[in-house]
């Protein structure tokens, strides 16, 4: 079914690679003009987007910095016009045991994964409210369901996004702005590629579908949630795309590794 998105403009953070790139490409295939915001170059992705016949632009921004987030939204509207769709996707993960969490990693993780969404949606909603509508998609994670060793900062940030999504959807509903969350499991992206072979093998065994996701497999769900035609009565919802991972525990480390994690021995 046609999602009726052609001619709309979208801003996608972290859209140069991974899940963000897959969503940006799916939107472009639906006729959406795209602004990608990232702290890394995305020349190849921009070329792919423009080859699909839409306008595409790149905005250099570090979303962990509030001023960059404000400038990012300003530049997106300056280059494309009114932003109808916003995809909050940029994320980082710092893996540190409880007794070794550094202030730098803590603040960077919370600012990139959580504060950036709060500040970006603040600016986006200021512009969407006078227009009487819009659609916001927040990319969460099944990390909020599955506890994992060494992921306290990341887990807190992603769980915080879920709580923020609920309040955002509640306050924006009277203005015709829909807000939903997509929670991916383990997909093959630059964010997850550092996993050891042993850990990857163990995790695959814990996923009911017994494989990692391909980023294109999450893009269709993003289109569904962003489209006013396909999801006109959906807001404040959370859609999990994880091969069933949230149903299973994650025993990725041995008992000895757990003991050594916080003793330094």
What are the beta bridge partners of residue 141?
none
Across the beta sheet with 56-60, the strand order is 56-60, 33-38, 9-13, 85-88, 134-139, 177-184, 238-241
Buried b (16+ CB within 10 A) or exposed e, 230-241: ebeebbbeebbb
CB atoms inside a 10 Å sphere around CB 200: 16
CB atoms inside a 10 Å sphere around CB 216: 14
| DSSP character string of 213-237 | BPTHHHHHHHHHHH-TTT-TT--S-
Cα distances (Å, whole numbers) of residue 30 to 27, 49, 57, 92, 210: 5, 11, 17, 28, 31
- Say if CB 19 and CB 139 are below 8 A apart: yes
Cα distances (Å, whole numbers) of residue 178 to 52, 99, 157: 27, 40, 22
Tokens describing residue 5: 């998105």
Considering only CA atoms, which of 9, 264, 260, 250 is closest in space to residue 143? Answer: 250
**Annotated catalytic residue within 149, 154, 164, 233:** 154
What are the beta bridge partners of residue 137?
87, 180
Tell me, yes or no, if 154 is annotated catalytic.
Answer: yes
> Which of the residues are catalytic?
154
């Amino acid at each position: 079914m046609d999602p009726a998105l052609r001619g709309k403009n979208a801003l996608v953070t972290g859209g140069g690679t991974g899940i963000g790139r897959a969503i940006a490409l799916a939107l472009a295939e639906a006729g959406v003009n795209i602004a990608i915001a990232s702290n890394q170059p995305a020349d190849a992705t921009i070329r792919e987007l423009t080859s699909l016949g839409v306008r595409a632009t790149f905005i250099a921004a570090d979303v962990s910095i509030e001023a960059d987030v404000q400038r990012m939204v300003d530049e997106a509207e300056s280059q494309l016009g009114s932003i109808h769709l916003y995809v909050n996707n940029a994320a980082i993960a710092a893996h540190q045991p409880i007794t070794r969490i550094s202030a730098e990693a803590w603040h960077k993780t919370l600012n990139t994964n959580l504060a950036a969404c709060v500040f970006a949606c603040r600016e986006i909603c200021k512009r969407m409210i006078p227009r009487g509508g819009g659609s916001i998609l927040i990319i969460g994670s099944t990390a909020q369901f599955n506890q994992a060793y060494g992921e306290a900062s990341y887990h807190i940030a992603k769980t915080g996004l879920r709580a923020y999504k609920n309040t955002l959807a509640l306050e924006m509903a009277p203005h015709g702005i829909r807000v939903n969350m997509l929670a991916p499991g383990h997909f093959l992206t630059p964010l997850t590629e550092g996993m050891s072979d042993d850990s990857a093998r163990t995790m695959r065994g814990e996923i009911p579908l017994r494989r990692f996701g391909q980023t294109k497999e999450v893009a269709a769900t993003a289109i569904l949630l962003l489209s006013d035609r396909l999801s006109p009565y959906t807001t404040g919802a959370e859609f999990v795309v994880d091969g069933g991972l949230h149903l299973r525990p994650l025993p990725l480390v041995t008992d000895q590794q757990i003991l050594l994690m916080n003793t330094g021995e």
